[in-house]
Amino acid sequence: MIKIIADTTCGLPLDILKQAGIEVLPQIITFGNETFRDDTEMDTGSFLQKLRASKTLPGTAAPPPALYTPIYEHILAAGDTALVITPSAKVSGTFRSATVAAGEFQTDQIHIVDTSTIAGGLGSLVLAAQRWADAGLTIEEVKENIMDMASRERLFFLVPTLEYLHKGGRIGGASKLVGTILQIVPILTVKEGQVESFDKVRSVKQAIRTIVNMNTEYCKDNPEPYLTISECDSEPLLTQVSQELTAATGIQDIPRYTIPPAIVVHVGPGVIETSCFATRL
């Protein structure tokens, strides 16, 4: 049996992961000398309260290898195969932590996949992998499907400010300067595992129109778009984007998730993220 291991950057609610039988590891949030797991010690709400009261930007760390070890031991003892699905190794140390922990075991029954993405799209990949495993696909078939699906993801972030990305070193200072002076609303994406600029528009209204139009294009005549919307501290904007996407694509009950603290540290509150998967060429 294939046992899926994810982490909180996938953005899926912990109860959904538990119901699916998926193991989940936390990211570590640091405020000065204080550290918090973002699965049991801090959620997005408490994180935002602490963020607003903090004079310095918090940091993040991947789950340490020691957290993977007992999970690997349990899975291997049951005669099962472990499949770790991680966020992009270019923005997170999670892939490395899982790999270091796997090095303690002399086995080919631990597999680790770098999806080159994060947030809602990563969540879609985790759930898809669980469905494929439940359907009886082999580990190689599941891994191949994950990489194929990941290559077709189209992800967009609408961020209210580039301040957090700039301070966290995720984009260059020039982009921050342009956004500040010209009051440009940036739309970001992820390419080859890295955060990059997709477009810069003059208003949130234009940004929403762009994101809705792009997702509508990718969802058209697409039987499996796996469209999702994620947000942090932007419920009114989430509702607007969700309603417009439903009207434009005809997709009802689009999954809506909360972006976890480890991502909010770098993009800031008020963010909206959409993810969908284009059809195969």
82: CATH: 3.40.50.10440
Lowest mean pLDDT among 140-149, 185-194, 221-230: 185-194
Does residue 214 share a domain with residue 93? no
271 with 134, same domain? no
Residue 29 corresponds to which amino acid?
A: I
Question: Dihedral angle at the C-alpha atoms of 160, 188, 245, 202, nearest 10 degrees?
Answer: 50
Q: Which two tokens stand for residue 255?
A: 């999954």
CATH of residue 267: 3.30.1180.10
**160 and 141 fall within a common domain:** no
Tell whether 90 and 194 lie within a shared domain.
Answer: no
Would you say residue 85 lies in a domain? yes
Over residues 85-137, the pLDDT tens digits come to 999 999 899 999 999 999 999 899 999 999 999 999 999 999 999 999 999 99
pLDDT per residue as tens digits for the range 138-174 = 999 999 999 999 999 999 998 776 665 555 554 543 3
Give a yes or no: residue 49 inside a domain: no
Residues 184, 109 within the same domain: no
Task: List the alpha helices (DSSP H) in the chain.
Answer: 14-19, 44-53, 65-77, 94-102, 120-134, 139-151, 163-167, 173-182, 204-219, 235-249, 261-267
Tell me: do 75 and 167 sit in the same domain. no
Q: Identify whether 45 is part of a domain.
A: no
With respect to residue 47, please indicate whether it lies within any of the assigned structural domains: no
Q: Across the strands, what pairs with 7?
A: 25
Domain boundary, last residue among 126, 151, 176: 151
Which of 98, 122, 151 is a domain's end point? 151
Residue 270 lies in a domain: yes
Residue 52 domain flag: no
The answer to whether residues 155 and 9 touch, using CB atoms and an 8 Å cutoff, is no
Asked whether residue 208 falls in the same domain as residue 141, the answer is no
DSSP SS3 for 233: coil
Residue 212 and residue 263 share a domain: yes
pLDDT bin (cut points 50, 70, 90) of residue 192 is confident
Structural domain containing residue 18? 2-27+62-151
Angle, helices 204-219/235-249, rounded to nearest 10 degrees: 40
Average pLDDT over residues 36-43: 91
Q: Predicted confidence band at 41 (pLDDT cuts at 50, 70, 90)?
A: very high
What is the rounded average pLDDT of the residues 32-36?
92
Question: Under 8 Å CB-to-CB from 255, ≥6 apart: which residues?
Answer: 120, 227, 228, 229
In-domain check, residue 69: yes
Q: How many domains does the chain have?
A: 2
189 within a domain of the structure (yes/no): yes
